[in-house]
Structure 1
């Protein structure tokens, strides 16, 4: 069984374009939605992403909705703790494919690092 983990220098989750996430209001309370919207740059990418290194400039202080952790996913999506790993893997894979493509270097690196062989 694969265990979710973030792959370095990916940044797919930093593509925050609200048009790709029409249900934001369903899982983010108004105060967090305001923070989310303030982070969206003109091109739909997070303003805190260093595009050269694909690292987060506020990683230690990033909002809870940017964290893959049990309490966040329970609150946002109603995911049971025992389902978090599989849900996180599926969400990341979907986001990576949507941003970079199914056969992108990022998708291959994600699968390889998690030991997923499709």
Structure 2
């Protein structure tokens, strides 16, 4: 079984463009939604994303909804723990392809790193 993990220097999840995520209200609380929208920069990227390093500048203090854990995915998406890895990997792949493209070096790197 392939295990989900974050791949460094990707950052696709930091592209927060609300128009690309119309279902935000379905899985974020009203307070989380306000916080989420406050993080979206003019370019659609999180204001805490460093484009040169492709890293979060507040990683240790990032909001709960930015943390990919079985507990959060159960709360937000009703995904059971045994489905977490497959679901999280699929989410990452979809987001990477949407942000960088289906034939991008980023999706190739992600798939290689997780052993896909």
Q: TM-score higher than 0.5 here?
A: yes
In structure 1, how many angstroms separate the alpha carbons of the residues matched to 2:29 and 2:106?
31
The within-5 A match list for 1:60-71 is 60-71=60-71
In structure 1, how many angstroms separate the alpha carbons of the residues matched to 2:71 and 2:6?
17
TM-score by length of 2: 0.98
In structure 2, how many angstroms separate the alpha carbons of the residues matched to 1:12 and 1:103?
14
In structure 1, how many angstroms separate the alpha carbons of the residues matched to 2:103 and 2:28?
31
**Deviation of 1:79 (Å):** 0.4
The runs of at least 4 consecutive aligned structure 1 residues that moved more than 2 Å come to none
**Deviation of 1:71 (Å):** 1.3
How many residues of Structure 1 are paired with residues of Structure 2 in the alignment?
A: 116
User: What is the root-mean-square deviation in Å for CA atoms of aligned residues?
Assistant: 0.6
In structure 2, how many angstroms separate the alpha carbons of the residues matched to 1:74 and 1:3?
17
SS in 2 for 1:37: helix
Ranges in structure 1 where 5+ consecutive residues have no aligned partner: none
Partner of 1:107 in structure 2? 107
Question: Is the counterpart of residue 88 in structure 1 residue 76 in structure 2?
Answer: no
In structure 1, how many angstroms separate the alpha carbons of the residues matched to 2:23 and 2:76?
11
**Deviation of 1:103 (Å):** 1.3
In the TM superposition, what whole-angstrom CA distance separates every residue of 1:8-55 from its partner, at most 9, and x where no partner exists? Answer: 100000000000011100110001001100000011100000011000
The within-5 A match list for 1:34-53 is 34-53=34-53
In structure 1, how many angstroms separate the alpha carbons of the residues matched to 2:55 and 2:72?
21
SS in 1 for 2:13: helix
SS in 1 for 2:87: helix
